[in-house]
Amino acid sequence: MQLSLNTGVCVDLISIKVEQLTNNITASFNNWVDELRFMPLIALLDGIRIRHTDQMYTKKITADRWNGKLTSNVQNRINILLKKARGARVIQCGKYEFQVDSSTETCVVKLDEGTCICG
């Protein structure tokens, strides 16, 4: 049986634009289950479940050490942005429209539209 290019899997494979990403995910998963690969199906699934449970538990332990609701990386980014925004001045122009003046630029922010006009 020969598949044409218009059938199921072939069409999906042709439409993949980022082959490297797909290969990286596949390689990562294959590396993760490498020791389990040749086990019987039930043992393979049980091994994957155990590894996944261990991974989730490790992430939970890490998250329990956080002081707030945000990760330390996100909190650091927010702190950097807050320091940059200290010199900014916000003036309300309308119900949902604000003008933000900083030392380098002026922006009009429309919250109801979710837009920002910088210039």
Residues 35-68: pLDDT tens digits?
888 899 999 999 999 999 999 999 999 888 888 8
pLDDT for 15 equals 56
Please count the structural domains in the chain.
Answer: 1
Question: Which residue stretches of the chain have pLDDT < 50?
Answer: 8-11
pLDDT for 47 equals 93
Residue 48 lies in a domain: yes
Question: CB of 108 within 8 A of CB of 93?
Answer: yes
Say what the pTM is: 0.47
d(CA 100, CA 109): 7
Residue 1 lies in a domain: no
Residue 32 lies in a domain: yes
Residue 3 lies in a domain: no
Residue 2 lies in a domain: no
Q: Is 36 exposed, middle or buried (0-12, 13-18, 19+ CB in 10 A)?
A: middle
